[in-house]
Amino acid sequence: MVELSKERLPVSVSAAVFIEDEQGRLLLLQQSSEEKGKKWSPPSGGMFPHEDPFENARREVREEIGVEIEFIDLIGIYTIDRGDKKTSIGFVFRAKITSGDIKPAKGEIDNYKFFTIGEIKELIAGDLLYKPEYNKKCIEDWIDGKSFPIGVIRPLI
């Protein structure tokens, strides 16, 4: 039997937004940072204090590509063990652009592209997906059409 500790682990919380174009291709952003390997991922990032997952997602999309969104549904809520001292929780939304034109944030995003499923599989095979331990499963669930009502997330005051 595993002995459980009463120590609470630090938790990081983030949100990602999957945006499709009219052809059903997925928007991915190429990271500017050499540290991030100039790899590709959906618009995403960590939650600030006092934000809820919706505010987190809207802010990240605004900051990274300068557009406003409307949520369609929830692809999933994911947890990942980040080692002895940290756990991450990620909310992954499906959304559509409601206003603005995509303008990548200088110094943060080098490029953007709407990818077909085949092109995404090539990114994965070429190890060009940022945080594959997280994004690969989310993309697989997107491909499989996973969908949960947005109302399953209920911010409480």
Per-residue pLDDT for 125 more than 90? Answer: yes
Instruction: Determine the average pLDDT of the residues in 42-67.
Output: 96
Per-residue pLDDT for 58 more than 70? Answer: yes
pLDDT for 5 = 63
Instruction: Determine the average pLDDT of the residues in 4-16.
Output: 80
**Beta strand 87-99 with 11-19: parallel, antiparallel or unpaired?**
parallel
pLDDT for 81 = 85
pLDDT for 10 = 78
Instruction: Determine the average pLDDT of the residues in 38-61.
Output: 96
Widest Cα–Cα separation across the chain: 55
pLDDT for 117 = 97
Report d(CA 76, CA 108) in Å as an integer: 26
Ranges assigned E (strand) in the chain: 11-19, 26-31, 40-41, 44-46, 68-81, 87-99, 109-115
